[in-house]
């Protein structure tokens, strides 16, 4: 099975092109994953629990808020920050809520009269919209291990651009 030199050269060039393409694609994927993991990424808000701060109840995605999420500082949440986290009740869902208390703070949960001490390694997450709330008042303190990212800015729609 001898190949003529032109056919051999053509296949060699094709192989080199395929190798270059594969290396570039793998490099691009690694860079994208690194940027998402270190710098952050955009995410569409769904649901009305954070209204009026974040709007996510419109059926049309372009009318919902798009927020910038970053992992920076997630291990030391501060009161007032808007955070995404894995739902303590359903690990397939990600919630976005405001931190209202951190470990060592006392809170008075809605619908209860007694104060609750937030345990070490936990924080208390509440919705800005108490009418449509699925938050720590339902499932209790949230472990910091469930925290995913901080929402830092509303980046869409332009009329709602703001720092959170």
Beta strand 106-107 with 94-102: parallel, antiparallel or unpaired?
A: unpaired
Q: Which residues are within 8 A (CB) of 74 and not within 5 positions of it... i.e. 6 or more apart?
A: 83, 147, 148, 149, 150
Distance between CA atoms of residues 120 and 104, nearest Å: 7
Distance between CA atoms of residues 111 and 2, nearest Å: 84
Give me the catalytic one of 97, 127, 136, 149: 97
Give me the catalytic one of 49, 127, 136, 149: 49
Is 120 a residue of the active site?
no
Distance between CA atoms of residues 104 and 144, nearest Å: 13
Distance between CA atoms of residues 100 and 109, nearest Å: 11
Quick one: CA dihedral 157, 152, 90, 108, positive or negative? Answer: negative
Is 87 a residue of the active site?
no
Catalytic residue ranges: 49, 97
């Amino acid at each position: 099975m001898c190949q003529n030199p032109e056919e051999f050269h053509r296949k060699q060039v094709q192989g080199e092109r395929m190798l270059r393409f594969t290396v570039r694609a793998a490099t691009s994927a690694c860079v994208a994953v690194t940027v998402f993991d270190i710098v952050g990424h955009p995410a569409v808000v769904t649901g009305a629990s954070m209204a009026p701060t974040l709007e996510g109840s419109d059926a049309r995605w372009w009318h919902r808020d798009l927020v910038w999420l970053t992992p920076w500082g997630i291990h030391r949440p501060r009161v007032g920050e808007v955070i995404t986290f894995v739902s303590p009740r359903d690990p397939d869902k990600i919630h976005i809520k405001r931190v209202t208390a951190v470990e060592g703070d006392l809170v008075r949960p809605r619908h209860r009269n007694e104060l609750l001490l937030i345990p070490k390694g936990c924080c208390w997450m509440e919705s800005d919209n108490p009418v449509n709330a699925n938050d720590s008042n339902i499932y209790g303190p949230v472990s910091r291990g469930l925290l995913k990212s901080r929402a830092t800015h509303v980046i869409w729609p332009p009329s709602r651009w703001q720092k959170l």
